[in-house]
A and B are shown apart, each in its own frame.
Chain A
């Protein structure tokens, strides 16, 4: 009994300590929110006023009513991320099924090629893709962001590893019942691998949503910018208007934070699953 109370006390103490650390982690966000509602001359008053003395929406006004409003970036981001991830899931799932469940000539060779290119960082692709996209005429279009994300070795690998865990006997017995590969894929494999799909979707969605490098290199027009690139433009135009910058940052984080808070469990599980296979 005494032991139990001591343990509880220690736990309470550790909780207080960790609460302090976690506050340190989110202080930058709190400061961002607070500054975004402050007029220019109050941002750096010290001691820090967490609740603005004379709150203003001026900064948000700049974000939503600039020459290319924030909502444009938001819709661009939705379009690019949704199409990229949907495309990737479909092509990866089909390819993963072929690698895992169909014995066809050339399978091992192709698999080896996929394997050997896994290690190439995305930045290696920026220069050659830049040239190729200009030749193909998709430079400065959303296709330049969507197309390359649709065909990844990573997605194929991740899903293949899950498909491999489904016993071949299950597919064989379906085959005897007259099912073709496509119906085995659709009716047996896919329903059993929902966790893998959700992991891939979440992991790649976060990556695609936050991607800054590819839009930076492949998009040149502000009206086509996704949120991170839009924020970059906004920064160039309002270099030292710190309140406006914080309002922009705030708006850029709201969508992903909202989705994260709703699907927190799936997010963490998805990142743990897909992250381990990265």
Chain B
């Protein structure tokens, strides 16, 4: 008799926990279904259809895998995809390398580091569209200040920056590095605080110089920070859109067109929602490679930690 009472009490408590759990999560979960899960499923379905939005809901046509086949014959798409990868391969390593150097210096080797850091953070918190407008004008080929300076320094044919088909993507990368540097420095600085001072003190006793300390203490200690930064930077750079939309609209030709910009054009300028949805899954695939490897490494790290803890 006692035990049934206990059991009943337990199941009541359990029911209460269930109700509480669903009450707490309910609001978020409903919104999440409506604004994330449902749209995602819809994006999946749309990618197998041909649909010009302006023709109305009735004219959705099921085309199977056609969109996914077509994209490999779509030169503009392939160029945009390639440009996205090239942009990322230029921008990500440079922004991380510079951030690493600057962060180490700003951490220890300067006076007035607070003020100096500010200069690197400002581009990061700026809206991309505002700074894109500034760079667009700075890089104007004939009377832009950058080329005026280059000309006065004796450069005979200064680059045409955003207006030249061989330099437009590189110019995008310059803006990208300049804007992203602050974020990278914040992350590296946070990582640097985690390195124990005793490591440096020990190396001082061994007579290590600055470069040796950097190579044999700082870099290895930052390996997980740098890994994280690399993954998140690629994920971020694959999504580049605003400067392309604002400054070059993908031009000249398709020389600076990137994946997200191409998707945007297909979807909202040509109303090819089905095809654009299929393209957006390519974006997902690109991003997924990096976020998945990050998850794996995170997971292995936490397993290691747990194992270490039980010892």
Contact = CB atoms under 8 A, between A and B. Distances in A.
A91 B27 contact: yes
A275 B187 contact: yes
A19 interface: yes
B283 to A, nearest CB: 6
B214 interface: no
Contacts of B189: 272
A272 B188 CA distance: 9
Interface string B91-131: 00000000000100110011110001111111101111111
Nearest to A209: B127
B135 interface: yes
Contacts of A99: 25
A12 B111 contact: yes
Contact of A151 (B20, B31, B148): B31
A228 B127 contact: yes
- The B interface is mostly helix, strand or loop, or mixed, namely helix
Secondary structure call for the A interface: helix
Contact of A272 (B36, B102, B120, B186): B186
Interface residues of A, number: 94
A29 B18 CA distance: 54
Interface string A68-100: 000000000000000000000001101101110
Interface residues on B, range: 35 or more
B31 A150 contact: yes
Nearest to A104: B21
Interface in B261-311: 263-264, 267-268, 273, 276-277, 280-281, 283-284, 287-288, 291-292, 295
Interface of B: 17-18, 20-22, 24-25, 27-32, 34-40, 42-43, 46, 53, 102, 105-106, 109-112, 116-123, 125-131, 133-135, 137-138, 143-145, 148, 152, 178, 181, 183, 186-187, 189-190, 228, 232, 235, 238-239, 241-242, 245-246, 260, 263-264, 267-268, 273, 276-277, 280-281, 283-284, 287-288, 291-292, 295
